[in-house]
Structure 1
Amino acid sequence: MKKAKTISLNVGIALALFAVFLVPAASATTVSIGSTIVGEGETGVVSLMVNDVTDLGGVHVNLTYDASVVNVTALTNSDFDSKPNLYKRGHGWVLLEGGQYESGLSGSVKLCDVTLEAVGKAGESSYLNLTDIDIETFTYPPTDIPIDEVINGTFTIKPVTPSAKVVINEFEQNPPGDDSGNEWIELYNNDSTSVNIGGWKLINSGGKVVTIPDDTVIAVHGYWVANWTNGSLEDSNEYITLYNATGTEIDNTLTAADGNNDERCWARYPNGIDTDSDNDWKYQTSTMGETNGVPVAPVDTTPPTTNVTAPPTLWPGKPDETTIPSGTPLPWTSEPVQLWFFRTDNSDSGTGVAYTNLSLASESVADLVNVTISNNTWTWETNLSKGKNTTVPGTVGEYFNVTISEECNATIEYYSVDKNETPRVEPKKNLTVRIRFEIPFSEVTPGTRYTANVTHDLIEPANEGKDATIVFFAETATIDSKPYYVLDINKSVGGTEMYVGINETAENFTMKRLVMKNKTGKIMDLTFNPEYTMLNYPLWVGKTWTSTINVSGTVTYANNTTIPINIITTEIEAKVTGEENLTTPYGELRCLVVETNAGILDTGLSKPITITAKYWISADEKAMIPKYQSYINGNLTEELVLK
C-alpha cells in the first residue's frame, strides 16, 4: 500500500508540473525592423515584423531614416491581403500600411521586406525608426492592439579600410635641457599588418639624415621612436620628411616652431590622423610611445528648439520671422492657416534634431484635424489628434510647413527631440488655430429681382401661398439729405419697403426707414435716427452688434386708429444666431441666420412693441437673402422663402 501511495504521489506531481508547462506565457506584441550592413552603392533587405499578435487586421507605421545615407527602393513579401506601397512617402520617410480582407493574422506577421539602397558614403549609418504606429484587430469595429515594444533598426555602409600607412606621429624639437641627444621622432603604424621600416630615412629641413636600422619592424598600430642623432633639430621653421628604403616619400610634418624648453611638442591629433593638413597637428604635452589621444565629445545637455511663425495677415503687426509665443490663440479667420516650423539644435555639442512630434493638446476643442505637412520637396496629407503623435523626421530639414484648411478650434502641441544617445526632449509648446465659416461683405447689383413664396402673412393672410417680388435697390430715396436704396417687397396685397444705406468702408448695411402696408395702406411707418446696422460684415456665428437710435413715425391698428410715435430712444440688438443649409433654386446654400430685435415703448401706444427681423444670409450673390421672417411682439407676421 505504501508503494501505491508513492506512485500516486509521483504521478500527481508529474501531472501538476505538466499542467504548469501547458499554461501559455503571456505574449508580448512587438513591432520590429531589422538591421543590415552593406557596401557603398549596394542594397540590403530588412523585414518589418509584428510578432506575437492575435487576429491582426491592419497595420499603420511610419518608417523614418536619414535620406542622405539610405533610400527605400522596394517593398515585397507582405503577409497582408492589402500590401504596403511607396505611394505615401517624403524626404526621409515612408508610410507603410497593410490590411486584411477576409480573416485576421496571428503569430509572427510580416508587414513587408524593405529593400534599402546605400546612397551615402562608406562608414555612414542611418537609424531605421518606426513611429506613428497603429495596429488593430480584424473585428468590426476594429480595436487597437497594445504594443509592448518597438524595436528599431540601423542601416550601415561598411567603412572602406584605409590604405595602410606609417606616419610621423609626434616629434620633439626642443626638449627640456640640452637638445643634443634628447630630440626624438615617433612613427606610428596605421596599417593592419606590421611594417618593416629598416633602411627608411628621416630628413629634416636642413637636409640632415637619420637612417632607421635594418630589420626594424613596427607592429600593427604600434609605435617606434627614433632619437635624432645627426646634430640638432631647429627650434623654428623645422619640418621632417620620411622616405622608405627606395626613396619614396611616405610622410612629412608641418613646418613647426617650438620655443619652449619643456615637455610639450607637436603631435598628430587625433592619434595617427593624416589628411595632409596642418590642422592634423596639435601642440601638447608629449606622449612618446603612446597614443596622442582623441577629442572628447562634449556632452549634449541642451534640447532642441522649435519656433513657429505665421503670415502677418494671421499674426497682425508681426513680420514673417516673428516667433509665435507658446500658448497663443491665433485670431479667428475664414482662410486656411499656414504655420512655419523651424527647429534647431544650436548648442556647441548639439547632435541635431531627430524628429518633431505634433498632436492636439488635451484641452483642444477639436479632437481631430486634417493637415498638410510639407516643405519645398515633399508633401504629406495626414491628421492630428489627441494622445497620438504625428512625427516629422529631422531628415526633411530645418523647416517644414503645416497647413490647416478645415474649420476648427484646434490647440496644436509640438516639441522636438535631438539625436543624442540619451535624447534631449524640448518642453512641449502649443498654439491654437481657429478657422470658422464667415460670409464677407458684398454688394447687391441695383435692380436685382427675386421671386419668393409668401409662406406666412399675419397682416394679409390672403397673400399666403402666393408669390412676392423682391426688388433690390432699383429705387433710391433721400432722407435727411442722404440717399438710401429701397428694398421693395411687393405682394399680392400690400408689402414692405426698407430704406437701406450701404457703407463699403464699414462693410455694413443700415436701415433708415421701415414701411409695412396692407390693403388699406400703411400700417407701420418708422424712421430711425441715426440708421441702425442691419448686417455688419463679415458675419460669423456668435457675432453681435448693437445700435442706439431714436425712433419716430406712426402705427395703425386694425380699427384704423393711427397712433403717432414720438421720438424715443431704443437699442437694437443684432446677433448671428446660427447656421442653416437651405435648398434653393440655386442649389444648396450654406446660410448664417441674423436676428435683430428692437423694443419700442411710447406713452402713445397701448402696449410696447417688439419688432424682430430674421435674415438667412448666403455668400451667393445670386441669392443673398434666400429666406426672411419678421415678428411683432414675438408673433410671426411674415415669412418669405426664395423660389
Structure 2
Amino acid sequence: MNEKENRVKTVVIMATAILVLMSMLPAMVSAQGDVKINEIMYNPSNDQGDDSDMEWIELYNNDADAINISDWTIDGNQIADRVMEPGDYVVLARNKTAFDAYYGALPGSVIDVTLGLKNDPGDTIVLSNSTGAEIDNVTYNASWGADGNGKTLERTATGGWAESLADGGTPCKLNSVTIVAPYSPWIPPMIYICNITVDAMTPENVGKNATIGLFTSAEMIDNASYYVVSISKPTDTTKMYISMDDENEDFLRKRVVREVLGREISNLTFDPASVGRDFPLWVGKTWTSTANVTGIIVNETGSAIQINSTAVVAGKVTLDVVSVPLGTFRCLVLENNVSYDVAGVPTSYVGKFWRSKQNNKLLVPKYQSYLHGNLVEELELIEVIPPTFLNASDNNTAINATTGEFLVVSLEGNPTTGYTWEVEELNEQVLQQIGGIVDVPESDLMGAPSMQIATFEVVGAGNATINMVYHRPWETDVEPLDTFTVNVTAS
C-alpha cells in the first residue's frame, strides 16, 4: 500500500471515529439544556409516611436533546449517573424503596438522593450541573399548598406553581395543573357539523355528515329539567339527558335514548344519575359511580329486552393531539365506560369525547363510541356553529336571526340580594327559551355578583321581542330595577 493510500485510509478511519463520537455526544456531554424542577413533595401526609421516607423532587427534560445529568447536584447533594432523553422525567427520592412501595412502577427513573426539605415556612431548592453552574431554582412556601395534605407542588404551564389536583401528585406524568377544565354551571349551546368516519351499525352513513347539538334543548324528566346533547346522523339519533350538580361540580347523565329510522331501539334511565364528568378535569383524573339502570334495548330480531341492572360508570381523562378536517387540536379526552347486564350477559359501552377550547369556544373535534371494546362509531369535526351572544350593550336594539340559530343573553346580577333576571312572555312561534336562567358567580365569595344567562332558540320566521326584567319576583307592585329588550326579526 503506497503512502497516498495510507493517508486516505487514515482520513477515513478518523472521520468515522469522529462521526461515532458525535453520535454519542448527547449522552456523553453534561450540557445545561432545559431541565426543570417540575414537582415537589416537601411534606407528605401522615398516611403517605414520614418526611424521611416520602420526600421527593421531580425533574423534567424540556429540551430537544438528551441531557446527561451525571454528577449534577440538588441542594449540593450528588445525583447518580443518568441521561435524560427529551421529555423524560426523573424522580429524586429521599427513600427510593419507600417511594416505590407507595407509587409502584412508573414510566420514568427514580433515584435515591439525599434530601431534607423544610416544611414551614418553606425552602429554596437549587439544581446545579457538574461544573456547579445553577440550572434551576425554586423558592417555595407552605402557603402555596401541599403542606401535609397528600398533594404536591406542580409547575404550571406558565412557569408558576400550584398545588396538585391529584392525591400523591403526578410523578413521572404530565402535571395535573398543566391543562385543567374547571366546572361551570352553564355551557353555551353549540352545533358541530362532523364527518362520519366509522359507523358499524349503518355503514352507508360513512362519508356523510352528522350534527352534534351540545346543550341545544332542554326536556323534563320526573319534573326536573335536563339539557340535551344530541347526535343526529342520516339514519339515527342519540340523545343524552344531562344536568349539573353545582355542589359536587359534576355533570350527571340521567337518560340515553337512541332512535333508528324513527323507531326507538334503546331507552335507558340511570337512578341516581351517573357521573359523566367529575370536575375539575385534568390529565390522569379518574372517577367511578354506580346507578340502577332501567329501560329497554331492542335486539337484532326486533324484540325489546327489559333492562334492570346495576351500572358501573368509570370515567377517565387522557391527553391527545388530534387532526380532523377542521384542524389539529390539543385535547382532553373524556372517556366514560358504562358496564351493566343485558339479559344476564355483561355489556360494556364506552363513549369518548375529545374536548378543546379555542378562542373561548368549546370544541368537540372528535367523538367515538365502542361496544364490547370494538369501535362502532367515529365522528370528526368539520364546522362549528356558535350562538349569537348578547349583553347589556345590546339593550334596546334590533337584530336579524335565522331559524335554528341560538341567542345567548348574559346580564350582570346578584341573586343574593333577592334580585334576579326573568324572561317575560315570548312569541314562542319564533323564539323558545332553552332551560331557565342560569347563574354563573364571578367568584366563590359570599354575595359575589354573577352573570345571569338566558338561552333562546329561533324556531320559526317572524318577529319577536326578548323582554327581561331585573326584579324581586315577590315584589309584584314594584317597578323592576332594570330591563333588557331586543327585537328579533327571524327568517
Q: Normalised by the size of structure 1, how large is the TM-score?
A: 0.36
Q: Compare the two structures and name the one with the higher helix fraction.
A: 2
